Structure 1
Amino acid sequence: MAIKPQVRWPIADESTPDLVLEKFAPEQTYKTRVYSALKHAITNMDIYSTNEATWLDERQLSERLGISRTPVREAIAMLEQQGFVKSMPRRGIIVLRKTKREVIEMIQAWAALEGMAARLVTLKAKDSEIAKLRPLFDEFGETHKPADYLSEYSSANIRFHQTVVQLAGSQVLAEMTENLLLHVRGIRQITIGRDDRASQSIVEHRAIIEALEKRDTELAERLSRDHTLNLADYVEQHSEGLFD
């Protein structure tokens, strides 16, 4: 009787030598959660309304969050890589304020990306999705002017820009715009209340929405890009007291 050759099945490491998987560690989950919490808190700070530095203390952060200092330290390292904070030896962690030039360049990059987002919305988004934009500003009018309700309008403004990017359906674009928007939102919140910019802003927003609803691709892209570039121009010309 012939002896059949023994079949040797490849083990996982041999068949997929480049695939290295490690078990999830609880510490990694904490790090991600701490990172998100700190990032949200930092980007909501009004750091441009004063010239004084804003400092964070690692020990106090860990105590307030009720966790060990390790995930806090790791989250701080991630935020430092993204330019939100900087660790200063023997002094603590300082929340970074961008220079005027850095802010302008970020806004310009954001304008290009958001213009592309508007283009993609006209090509890919459903009518029901685009319809989410107009209600963001429905409450504002002659009896509820943006200039008189700046906090509310500023929140609606941020949601508008975030929604446009979301409706574009591009994960890469969303990731690229996220940190840019977070870095410049403090400047946007301050400047929106100057020179009645809020009144002009809502007019521009509604024009963008109309172009998106009509799926006028070229117009939507141009209006969206120019709307954001207007902020860059304003910062260039009227940024007294905002930067060191």
Structure 2
Amino acid sequence: MTGPTLNVQPLDTSTSFRTQVYHALKQAITEMDIYDHKTEIRLDERQVSEKLGVSRTPIREAMTLLEQEGFVRSQPRRGIFVIRKTKREILEMVTVWAALESMAARIAAEKASDEDIRSLRELFSDFEQKKPAEHVNEYSDANIAFHKAIIRMSGCQLIQEITENLFIHMRAIRKLTIGQDNRAERSIVDHKNIIDALARRDPVAAEQLVRDHTLGLATHIEQYGNFLD
């Protein structure tokens, strides 16, 4: 099976190549579906150089930063590979995310604007007429946007920074699992309840609902996560 390709765009040469390469690669890696196959994802310096239109030096510098952040790993004589987490590591990540996002929801219930909360409802307005399970890719995008929005609406910069480096794996796992075991249908019910709690400005309910929702993903992975072994 052919693995995912790295979708990067040529760079604007007006700023630091290393910085631009770093952000371009990080974004591209974040958008990859890294758990829907068993193949290792190798990043080829020559191909990346050609796609970005820069020499290999800033690419190597950017790869070093990405390795320090845990996005890639370098193997002597083999190359650079996107890191895939084990089932145990993913379960730990989901648990940490549940703690952080639930706290973000608690803060958002007290501080988010009415417009922000309305925008959450709009994410799922299309699914009032169509079933999420029949439009899994579209619903998956809305689902991911929802969870990112909860984090953002907290206004807590530190929560945003910590979750950013978890997001590559959380996005990939959510995208892969949303179509399994009727999760999409159950997910939209959870989301509506969370939005209602935010709209009521009920921080306790918002926090609990978000925590339970995310820990439900952990339960699903524990039971059906053989794709991570």
In 2, distance between residues paired with 1:96 and 1:53?
A: 9
1:162-215 C-alpha deviation (Å, 9 max, x unpaired): 111111111111101111122221111111111110000000001000000000
Normalising by structure 1, we get a TM-score of 0.85
- Partner residue, 1:136: 123
* Distance in 2 of aligned mates of 1:213 and 1:29: 43
Quick one: distance in 2 between partners of 1:220 and 1:234? 21
Mean CA deviation greater in 125-134 or 99-108: 125-134
Q: Report how far residue 43 of structure 1 moved.
A: 2.0
SS at 1:93 equivalent = strand
**Once structures 1 and 2 are overlaid, which stretch shifts more, 34-43 or 195-204?**
34-43
C-alpha contact 1:27 1:71 (8 A) present in aligned 2: no
Give the Cα separation in 1 of the matches to 2:71 and 2:211.
25
- Structure 2: runs of 5+ lacking an equivalent: 1-12
* Alpha-carbon shift at residue 28 of structure 1 (Å): 7.2
Normalization by structure 2: what TM-score? 0.91
Instruction: Count residues in correspondence.
Output: 217
Greater gyration radius = 1
State the distance in 2 between where 1:178 and 1:238 align: 26
Task: Write 1 or 2 for the structure with the bigger share of helix.
Answer: 2
Q: Which amino acid aligns with 2:186?
A: Q
1:113-144 Cα deviation digits (max 9, x unpaired) = 00010011111112122211100000003x41
Query: Residues of 1 paired with 2:130 and 2:207: CA distance?
Result: 29
Percent same amino acid at aligned positions?
55
CA contact (8 A) 2:49 2:59 kept: yes
**What are structure 1's unaligned runs of at least 5 residues?**
1-25
4+ long deviations beyond 2 Å: 26-29
CA RMSD in angstroms comes to 1.5
Deviation per CA, 1:19-65, whole angstroms, max 9, x where unpaired?
xxxxxxx8972222211211121122222121111111112211210
Matched residue type, 1:229: L
